[in-house]
């Protein structure tokens, strides 16, 4: 069974602060993804990666950076968090099928 | 308009009955995946489909690339089938999935 973990699971941040969401996968998948899920919008792609050292912009990249230092790890970085970034964030890895992590609930006050 | 359109948006079933969910695509989808988001929020991969059909227990899914649609049939619905079902399509030359907005399924005793 595919294994994707995320940390932290819950995070409260202040406006203007820096937030880093981490994702780790043990599937040896090349592709990894960051999504956010909001009521009424479903799952929207923020950034993705084809392998260590690569990051690509998804559909809604503004306000987010990504980092893929290794095959296993993919981070999402909010340099200056805003209340509009309050959401649930999912990481996924894929060979063929996409496997999701458990999600991180981020609240920006 | 929506590239991946799911119907219905919500559905209530009695335990033991059958249902069919549908996705229509306005893109030339090459593969389709179906996910269940359970009431705890976890996203579970149900099917990865190239054109054709697959079956797993009480679930059966089909993908017709020529007619641009996919279906998910649930037979003998159980309480644990409740949740939101998402379909997602992969476009040619892309490693990205485009998600539908989901079908919220409630199975009642």
CA distance B13 to chain A (A): 23
B14 torsion bin: left (phi>0), alpha (psi -120 to 50), beta (else): beta
**pLDDT band with cut points at 50, 70 and 90 for residue B69:** very high
CATH class of A4-108: mainly beta
> What are the boundaries of each domain within chain B?
4-108
| Residue A94 touches partner B, C-beta closer than 8 Å | yes
H/E stretch holding B108 reads strand B103-108
Task: Report how far apart, in Å, the C-alpha atoms of B105 and of each of A3, A32, B18, B24, B45 are.
Answer: 26, 28, 12, 18, 16
**pLDDT band with cut points at 50, 70 and 90 for residue B1:** low
Q: Report pLDDT digits (tens) over A72-96.
A: 999 999 999 999 999 999 999 999 9
Q: Report pLDDT digits (tens) over A20-74.
A: 999 999 999 999 999 999 987 789 999 999 999 999 999 999 999 999 999 999 9
Q: Does the pLDDT of residue B95 top 90, yes or no?
A: no
> What are the boundaries of each domain within chain A?
4-108
Compute the mean pLDDT over every residue in chain B, rounded to the nearest whole number.
95
Contact B43 A88 (CB under 8 A): no
Contact A42 B100 (CB under 8 A): yes
Other beta carbons within 10 angstroms of residue A36's beta carbon come to 23
Using CB atoms, pick whichever of A31, A43, A96 lies closest to residue B99: A43
CA distance A70 to chain B (A): 19
Using CB atoms, pick whichever of A50, A98, A102 lies closest to residue B97: A98
Using CB atoms, pick whichever of A42, A48, A96 lies closest to residue B102: A42
**pLDDT band with cut points at 50, 70 and 90 for residue B21:** very high
All residues of chain B having their beta carbon less than 8 Å from the beta carbon of residue A25 are: none
CATH class of B4-108: mainly beta
pLDDT at B93: 80
Contact B95 A48 (CB under 8 A): yes
The strand ranges marked E within A14-102 are 19-25, 31-38, 42-49, 56-57, 65-67, 73-78, 87-94, 98-100
């Amino acid at each position: 069974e595919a294994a994707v973990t995320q940390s932290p699971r819950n995070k409260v941040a202040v406006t203007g602060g820096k937030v880093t969401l981490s994702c780790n996968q043990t599937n040896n998948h090349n592709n990894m993804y960051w999504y956010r899920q909001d009521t009424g919008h479903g799952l929207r792609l923020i950034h993705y990666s084809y392998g260590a050292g690569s990051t690509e912009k998804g559909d809604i990249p503004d306000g987010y950076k990504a980092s893929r230092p290794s095959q296993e790890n993919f981070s999402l970085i909010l340099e200056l968090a805003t209340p509009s970034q309050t959401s649930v964030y999912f990481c996924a890895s894929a060979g063929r099928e996409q496997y999701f992590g458990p999600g991180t609930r981020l609240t920006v006050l | 308009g929506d590239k991946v359109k799911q119907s219905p948006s919500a559905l209530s079933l009695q335990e033991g009955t059958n249902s069919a969910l549908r996705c229509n695509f306005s893109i030339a989808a090459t593969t389709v995946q179906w996910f269940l988001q359970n009431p705890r929020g976890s996203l579970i991969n149900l099917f990865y489909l190239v054109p054709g059909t697959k079956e797993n227990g009480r679930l059966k899914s089909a993908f017709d690339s020529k007619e641009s649609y996919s279906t998910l049939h649930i037979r003998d619905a159980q309480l644990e089938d409740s949740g939101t079902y998402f379909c997602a399509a992969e476009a040619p030359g892309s490693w990205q999935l485009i998600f539908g907005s989901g079908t919220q399924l409630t199975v009642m005793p």
